[in-house]
Homo-oligomer: A and B are copies of this chain.
Amino acid sequence: MTTSLGAPPAPPAAVRSRQDRGLADRIALSAATRQGVHLRTADVHAWLTERRRVNAFQVDRIPFAELTQWRFEDGSGNLVHRSGRFFTVEGMRVVDRDGPGREWRQPVIRQPEIGILGILAKEFDGVLHFLMQAKMEPGNPNLLQLSPTVQATRSNYTKAHRGANVTLIDHFHRPDRHRVIVDVLQSEQGSWFFHKSNRNMIVETVGDVPELDDFRWLTLGQIAELLHEDDLVNMNARSVLSCVPHQDTTPGALLSDAQLLSWFTGERSRHDVYAERVPLCSVSGWRRGKETIEHEEGRYFKVVAVSVRAGNREVVHWDQPLIEPVGVGVTAFLVRTIGGVPHVLVHARVEAGFLDTVELAPTVQCTPANHAHLPPRRRPPFLDAVLGAPASRIRYEAIHSEEGGRFLNARSRYLVVDANATEAGLDPPPGYAWVTPAQLSALTRHGHYLNVEARTLLACLNAGALRPQGGM
């Protein structure tokens, strides 16, 4: 059969089913397989420890003046790489006309290039395994975490910093002869990035893949176990895993898909928020010192600089800016069973740096320190319900790091909390809706529906990571 994906020509052209019906079963089998053929889950830590030992990583904070590869651009004051590539730290001006007219400026990362976050998949003993990399990123509190097979900006794979080849990138850059399981542009943090998207991919290969020290094949069941641990599965891996096409085995949902999409369209339509890039030097309310750019009242985040020495990255030494949030975040879904089907309470959330204003976010997503000065009625909805939940109602909890290539010690407690009727009834406040994980899964086939924090929690839900209700 001839296809435009490059299969060899053969007579005569025919059509295939629009859905790959066997795939969901193979995903389910991988999720149910708690031991892979290559590495026992219990041995993942020993492998990571060994990789940390072999590759001597060192990250040091430095003053901006000691950055050798970055500089504050004349005029704009933007923080830019000497090559003009990778990313820049610029300013963002936001006008929010939703409430009483509000306007602010803040630093923001701009990275217009679309990077690839790719996980290679392959069957061993009839079970899909996924090739995970032990990868150092300078902002991770523990430096090295499990990442996708490949995470590369276009500058990486077109050799802007002329390091070694980005391993394995060709599987994703030219996926012609592979089975593509996931391939979608997804957003990243809209409070820290301006219009950032990355290409989230899973491609299956039947060819030989070289065995490399920094890479191991794991089943979805193994990864699900690892998602219970703090600071282990990195943000990019969680994002890609959230897009795995699990089958919906439930009888339905509180809202039909058409109702859900209509509600979302209404949310996107009703907000009147406008954001644009401005020069970093025009960002009032923030001050630039020798080592940080920070908010005048110490809120939100700082821009800092680090020097990195590492053995297994594409280049041996580099320096770069990072964004360092002021506190640990809280990111939670309230969950309740409706008609026998678990539902989570999603929030149609405005983040100024989103390409399209609103995406679906967890019920709670904030850094409590930024709201501590506010009276209770102005604190984020449901935050107190989440923070005050007894252990018996916490169905999932782990601390995960956000992208360590851009953020320093950006950690958040990710929670799934049983809701009771008093605090989150079936008729939630405007901007919130009860939806099933299967509905969220279906939306991850398309970009700009789920924000990256909701995708992290969906990855945990899809991995079957929930403890039984009321259990501990």
Residues of A within 8 A of B (CB): 2-6, 9, 12-20, 112-114, 116, 175, 180-181, 183-185, 199, 245, 248, 250-259, 261-263, 265-266, 268-269, 272, 274, 338-341, 355-356, 425-428, 432-434, 438-439, 445-448
Contacts and interface: CB of A to CB of B under 8 A. Distances in A.
Contacts of A340: 15
Contacts of A439: 18
Given A185-B268, A263-B4, A426-B3, A256 B355 contact: no
Nearest to A175: B262
B253 A16 contact: yes
Q: How many copies does the complex hold?
A: 2
A262 B447 CA distance: 12
A259 B185 contact: no
A15 B355 contact: no
B199 A269 contact: yes
Contact of A255 (B4, B256, B274): B4
B18 A338 contact: no
Contacts of A6: 427
A268 B200 CA distance: 13
A161 B3 CA distance: 54
Given A5-B263, A183-B265, A199-B265, A15 B274 contact: no
30 contacts: A2-B427, A3-B255, A3-B427, A4-B432, A4-B433, A5-B263, A6-B427, A13-B338, A13-B426, A15-B251, A15-B252, A15-B253, A16-B253, A16-B256, A18-B438, A18-B439, A20-B256, A20-B258, A112-B272, A112-B274, A114-B268, A180-B262, A183-B265, A183-B266, A184-B265, A185-B265, A245-B258, A355-B355, A356-B448, A446-B446
Nearest to A178: B262
A287 B299 CA distance: 48
A445 B262 CA distance: 10
Contacts of A445: 261
A112 B276 CA distance: 13
Contacts of A261: 183-184, 445-446
Contacts of A175: 262
A180 B425 CA distance: 23
Contact of A258 (B112, B181, B268, B341): B181
A252 B339 contact: no
B254 A4 contact: yes
Nearest to A1: B254
A434 B1 CA distance: 13
Contacts of A19: 256-257
A15 B338 contact: yes
Contacts of A427: 2-4, 6, 9
Contacts of A268: 114, 185
A272 B85 CA distance: 13
Contacts of A2: 425-427
Contact of A18 (B257, B263, B446): B257
A185 B341 CA distance: 29
Contacts of A259: 3, 5, 180
Nearest to A345: B4
B185 A252 contact: no
Contacts of A3: 254-255, 259, 426-427
A5 to B, nearest CB: 6
Contact of A269 (B185, B248, B263, B432): B185
A114 B426 CA distance: 29
Please give me the 3 A-B residue pairs with the lowest Cβ-Cβ distance, nearest first: A183-B262, A15-B252, A15-B339
Contacts of A338: 13-15
